Chains A and B, each alone.
Chain A
Amino acid sequence: MSDRLPGFSTLAVHAGAQPDPTTGARATPIYQTTSFVFNDADHAASLFGLQAFGNIYTRIGNPTNAVLEERVAALEGGTAALAVASGHAAQVVILQQLLQPGDEFIAARKLYGGSINQFTHAFKSFGWNVVWADPDDIASFERAVTPRTKAIFIESIANPAGSITDIEAVSTVARKAGVPLIVDNTLASPYLIRPIDHGADIVVHSLTKFLGGHGNSLGGIIVDAGTFDWSTGGKYPMLSEPRPEYHGIRLQETFGNFAFAIACRVLGLRDLGPALSPFNAFMILTGIETLPLRMQKHCDNAKAVAEFLAGHPAVASVSYAGLPSDKYNQLARKYAPKGAGAVFTFSLKGGYDAGVNLVSKLQLFSHLANVGDTRSLVIHPASTTHSQLDDAAKVKSGAGPDVVRLSIGIEDKEDLIADLEQALGA
Chain B
Amino acid sequence: MNHDAYPDNYIRGILNSVKSIAMVGASPVNVRPSYFAFKYLAQRGYDMIPVNPGHVGKELLGKPFVASLSDIGRPVDMIDIFRNSSHIMPVVEEALTLDPLPKVIWMQLGARDDAAAAKAESVGIKVVMNRCPKIEYGRLSSEISWMGVNSRTLSSKRAPAPTQGMRLSLNRMSVGGGDTAASDRAAKNKTGQS
Contacts and interface: CB of A to CB of B under 8 A. Distances in A.
Nearest to A6: B175
Contacts of A253: 33, 109-110
Give the interface size class of chain B.
Answer: 35 or more
A19 B132 contact: no
A197 B181 CA distance: 8
Contact of B9 (A3, A69, A197, A225): A3
Which A-B residue pairs are the 4 nearest by beta carbons?
Answer: A226-B183, A69-B148, A73-B150, A227-B186
Interface stretch (A74-82, A119-127, A338-346): A74-82
Given A1-B172, A52-B43, A265-B147, 16 more contacts: A2-B9, A14-B156, A21-B159, A21-B162, A24-B158, A49-B30, A51-B35, A66-B145, A73-B149, A74-B152, A78-B180, A79-B149, A79-B150, A226-B180, A226-B182, A227-B182
Given A19-B158, A51-B39, A66 B148 contact: yes
Given A11-B175, A51-B35, A70 B183 contact: no
Nearest to B143: A53
Interface in B158-194: 158-162, 164, 171-177, 179-183, 185-187, 190
Query: Which of A3, A20, A21, A65 has its CB near the most chain B CB atoms (within 10 A)?
Result: A3
A282 interface: no
B140 to A, nearest CB: 10
B46 interface: no
A237 interface: no
A257 B181 CA distance: 12
14 contacts: A3-B176, A3-B177, A10-B154, A16-B145, A19-B157, A20-B158, A49-B30, A53-B147, A63-B146, A74-B152, A227-B182, A248-B31, A254-B36, A258-B147
B30 A81 contact: no
Interface string A146-173: 0000000000000000000000000000
A256 B40 CA distance: 17
B135 interface: yes
Contact of A82 (B39, B148, B182): B148
B136 to A, nearest CB: 11
Interface string A14-39: 11101111101000000000000001
Give the one of B36, B43, B143 with max A CB within 10 A. Answer: B36
Contacts of B143: 53
A57 interface: no
B174 A70 contact: no
B182 A80 contact: no
A3 B157 CA distance: 18
Given A52-B40, A70-B151, A5 B182 contact: no
B39 A15 contact: no
A229 B130 CA distance: 14
A258 B143 CA distance: 15
B147 A256 contact: no
A77 B149 contact: no
Contacts of B124: none
A54 B114 CA distance: 35
Interface in A33-51: 39, 43, 46, 49-51
Contacts of A66: 145-148
